[in-house]
A and B are shown apart, each in its own frame.
Chain A
Amino acid sequence: MSAVAPSRPAPVADFRLTVEEQLLRDSVRDMLAAHWTPAMAREATGDPGVTGAAWPRLAEWVGVIESGTVATCLAAEEAGAALAPGEILAAWAFAGLLGAMEHPLAADAVGGELAGSVALDTGRRGPLPPPGLVLRPAADGPVMVIDEEAATLLPAGPRRTVHTADLSRRFVAADTATEGDRIPHPVPDAFAAWIQTSALMAGADALGACRTLLRATVDYAGVRKQFGRPIGTFQAVRHRLVDLALALERATASTYLAAMLVDARDPEAGRAVHAARASAGDAVARFTRGAVQLHGAIGYTWEHDVHLYVRRAYVSDRLFGAGSWHRERLAETVLEPEEELRGA
């Protein structure tokens, strides 16, 4: 055997299930099941106060971001699956950012006492996602505005509601012209990892909603009868469901691989995140139409919950860079690898 070749780092993605993973999933799921239901999400459309009542229990889970990107994605997937209030996602992004900035308020944010949100005030080109929707912070908390060079903390206070297609979450306008202390991004690696984690968190939320849609659609196909047999026995229905399931499996595996790479600060993380969000975008596009179609006419009604999850997934696919934006970034890394070295 020849001399040992110079070896690049040898990290390998270990997907083996751990007890801790199941514990985390179950804990978040149980917490949401106890304090948040799709019916509440529906009621919350006209009554933001419902969110307020559930918030203290959700706030206990902000600290999960301290356990890393995989943990955050596991929790976010459950949040999407249960149509959890957007305030928890806002708080994860906010606390993660303060942590990355080593901000003096980071401990309060991670502990859930100071719930905020983030707004992107970035250019349309470059490594940072373009401006997007701003999740409403719990209890009208502060909003951290990010631009290419710095972060500006907008103080707590009521904000104008931005009405969106997503009936399960509230969004607000963040007045990015407001004066405040501009804090330069001091820790580039930590800041990049925060952007990556946030993008994966949004993708995981979308995939959680898709997971609920898949289960609901499979269940429906098993009980809804036509021509004397369940529609789930017809290959046209079965095969479309399989294609939905495959898209979800692909995107979920890609998301957790990217999350592991972010946690490891691996140089491939940036590209993996773009790939994962591109896959999530593909899954969302398929579920948006497929889940409604396979439910037939009942899925076309306002009363049925299908559209709540479709709306949730569709809007999550827009957060921290839309699926299409991530796809374009991926195209750049594939065709122009030197870009990857300079930016991202």
Chain B
Amino acid sequence: MISSPTHEGLMQIVSDSRLDRFRSEFNAFLDEHAPSDASDWIFGLVGGIPDWARRWQAALFDHGFLSPQSPPGLGGRNASQLEALVHLDELSRRGLPRSFHFPGWGIVAPTLLEFGSEGQRALAPRALRGDETWCVGMSEPGAGSDLAGLATRAEERAGSFVVTGQKVWTSYAPWAGRCLLYARTDPGSRGSRGLSVLIVDLDAPGVEVRPIRHLGGEPELAEVFFDGVSVPRESLVGNLHAGWEVATASLKYERQGLWVEWLAAVQHVFDRLVELARLRRRDLDAALRGRLVVAAERVAATRALGLREFARVYDGMPPAQSFLKLATSELSQDLFELGAELSGDDAVVSPTPAAGAGRWLSGLLKSMGDTIGGGTSEIQREIIASAALRLPSPR
């Protein structure tokens, strides 16, 4: 009889003294620096970019724990893949996002580092550390999910670009100093061709930022108007008319980092939900208990999905990032909804005049943006249908 081969080297739980050391050091850092006020922010009771959030991101950067695999000047410590995994695992277990204003470190800095000139790359450390707040100008009144339909123009004139148009739903624009702007540089172009990426100073003459309060009450979005804004030629990021390439790459950056933020927030909300359920054990009827355990199952599975996504990134596998975006954003709404139901009238009674709702309903209202921003759930499903399932294109 031929015996089956022995199988070693399969996926496994890994542990060695070097990883133990890394985790100990990171835990010591977290015990000292982790913000204690993150919960109110995640639940939408406070908004904007609080001082503690800036201190936290800067501390991560300074200690090489923002993105450990990067070199020291970029918020890292040249860590190994497995150390980076320990880092993400610990953050997600503790329910701690790295940053409370994601565009700078999550999208802009990686874009500048990959496509930028030497001068532009020099802007990356401050974006990563959170010293400078950035926004990304993609959505427009006529181009939300359909980025290729954008109409903001940037005309080349005598060594500079003149930008005219309007962006909308621009996250963090009320606090941002600069915008990574997508504009049409080839006037005769349509669709995904003829777009370029520019760095635009939001203090420049002709720029107007009008904050938009989201339904939870916080002005975290904005309309941004550009009326003949002059932008120097050296503000072009990457090649002229090659903006689509940059946009595609920014999805890749999201894959590499943002999933852990989503996962961390989900874990954070779930941990609070379990505390609430234990506290209100007597109100926990069979139906609520059933929903709670579905939530527990979903959180565990989504965490496993996240750990696997990490591995996929390093294996160069096809992206499953849309799966995670879809799963975490819909799951966090389920969790808030369940918490609101469990907390009875506390969900609707506002603790302060400004809060506008109780803790759990406030969280639910705020989280409704998660299934819209960064590609709606419907768009994520379309991406998965085409890219992962390879279903025929609807068009």
Contact = CB atoms under 8 A, between A and B. Distances in A.
Contacts of A266: 13
Contacts of B82: 12, 14
A13 B307 contact: yes
A256 B304 contact: yes
A256 B13 contact: no
B301 A250 contact: yes
B237 to A, nearest CB: 32
A278 B85 CA distance: 26
A264 B29 contact: no
Contacts of B4: 27, 60-61, 63-64
Interface string A10-37: 1111111111110110010000000000
Nearest to B3: A63
Contacts of A1: 25, 28-29, 32, 63
Contact of A241 (B32, B320, B389): B389
Interface string B1-33: 111111111111111000110111101110110
A10 B86 contact: yes
A341 interface: no
Interface stretch (B195-203, B310-318, B347-355): B310-318
B13 A263 contact: yes
The residue in B302, B304, B307 that gathers the most chain A C-beta atoms within 10 A of its C-beta is B304
Interface stretch (A119-127, A130-138, A299-307, A324-332): A324-332
A218 B390 contact: yes
Interface string A204-237: 0000000000000010011000000110111100
A3 to B, nearest CB: 7
A15 B311 contact: yes
Given A11-B13, A238-B381, A264-B13, A20 B86 contact: no
B13 A21 contact: no
B24 A5 contact: yes
Given A2-B31, A19-B9, A250 B14 contact: no
B327 A20 contact: no
A306 B149 CA distance: 42
Contact of B293 (A2, A59, A253, A327): A327
B251 interface: no
Contact of A67 (B7, B274, B298, B302): B7
B341 interface: no
A275 B391 contact: no
Interface residues of A, number: 77
B384 A256 contact: no
A153 B192 CA distance: 69
A233 B392 contact: yes
Interface in B366-386: 378, 381-382, 384-385
Interface in A40-60: 59-60
A13 to B, nearest CB: 5
B89 to A, nearest CB: 5
A91 interface: no
A334 B390 contact: no
B394 interface: yes
B277 interface: yes
6 contacts: A14-B14, A24-B10, A111-B1, A242-B381, A275-B296, A334-B292
Given A5-B28, A229-B392, A246-B323, 6 more contacts: A5-B31, A16-B314, A251-B301, A257-B308, A272-B300, A328-B293
Interface of B: 1-15, 19-20, 22-25, 27-29, 31-32, 63, 81-82, 85-86, 89, 274, 277-278, 281, 284, 289, 292-294, 296-298, 300-305, 307-308, 310-312, 314-315, 317, 320, 323, 326-327, 378, 381-382, 384-385, 388-394
Interface of A: 1-5, 7, 9-21, 23-24, 27, 59-61, 63-64, 66-68, 70-71, 74, 111-112, 218, 221-222, 229-230, 232-235, 238-239, 241-243, 245-246, 249-251, 253-254, 256-258, 260-261, 263-264, 266, 271-272, 275-276, 278-279, 282, 327-328, 330-331, 334-335
A-B pairs, 7 with minimum CB distance:
A15-B311, A275-B300, A250-B301, A253-B304, A264-B13, A67-B7, A257-B304
